[in-house]
Amino acid sequence: MEDPNADTEWNDILRARGILPPKEGPTEEEIFEEMDKNIREKQEKHLEDKTLDELDELEDEEDDRILEEYRQKRMAEIKAEASREKYGQLIQISKPDFIKEVTEASQEVWVIVHLFKDPIPECKLMNAHLSTLAEKYKATKFVKIVGDHCIPNYPDKNLPTLLIYGNSDLQQQLVGLSQLGGMNMTLQGIFYFLSI
């Protein structure tokens, strides 16, 4: 027969089921409390023996440690932000790229799609403003595609058109420039519309 006080996994299971009596001796909580008490006493005794200069040096070391922890944390934040800010320009795509560049990409980031045609002045103005926004907001993906290449027979009268994708789906759209002031549209007007 096995020793019921032996420290085995089987005996722990039997104790948990109430088959064996609880193990004699201190509980886990009592052990941790005793360890904490011993650590505190050693730290206090360690500090009592120090001179004022030694205490100042310990304080400086502690400050250095805290500053280094902050520096490491901040560097991790900067790296994470840099990994999100990877776009920075208005890129032209074609219809075969649409699913990958827009629908799939919008699972992770916001994607602004500009349906355009080069000869239309409003489209040129929109491209200029979107290029500026893309440089400033690098965590958002800005793409442009010729309107009737994206949607067959898409009428030129609807250009420029903005499509805003997020979570793999169309979230908002803007057809034409009338809401933004036509040829008098401003960068701030587009920014406001996109940030709604």
What token pair was written down for 84? 């999100």
List b or e across 139-169, with b for residues whose CB sees 16 or more CB atoms inside 10 angstroms.
ebbbbbbbbeebeeebeeeebbbbbbbbeee
> pLDDT per residue over 20-53, tens digit each?
777 766 666 777 788 888 777 776 666 667 777 8
pLDDT of residue 166: 92
pLDDT of residue 31: 78
> Given strand 169-175, what is the order of strands in its sheet?
90-92, 141-146, 111-116, 161-166, 169-175
What token pair was written down for 101? 């560049």
What is the distance of C-alpha 15 from the center of its chain? 46
Residue 2 binned pLDDT confidence (cut-offs 50, 70, 90): low
Q: Is the pLDDT of residue 194 over 90?
A: no
Domains of the chain (ranges, CATH numbers): 25-84 (no CATH), 91-194 (3.40.30.10)
pLDDT of residue 5: 64
Q: What are the angstrom distances between the C-alpha of 125 and each of 4, 78, 120, 183?
A: 84, 33, 9, 8
pLDDT of residue 1: 54
Q: Is the pLDDT of residue 152 over 90?
A: yes
pLDDT of residue 59: 76
Question: Collapsing DSSP states into helix, strand and coil, what is residue 157?
Answer: helix
| Mean pLDDT score, 125-147 | 94
Distance CA 30, CA 24 (A): 13
> pLDDT per residue over 167-179, tens digit each?
989 999 999 988 8
What is the reported pTM? 0.59
Say which residue, 15 or 72, is predicted with more confidence: 72
Say which residue, 116 or 180, is predicted with more confidence: 116
> pLDDT per residue over 11-25, tens digit each?
777 777 777 777 766
Q: Which residue, 155, 151, 150, 159, is CA-closest to 182?
A: 159
Side-chain half-sphere CA neighbours of 180 within 13 A: 25
pLDDT of residue 86: 80
| Mean pLDDT score, 42-69 | 75
Distance CA 145, CA 116 (A): 6
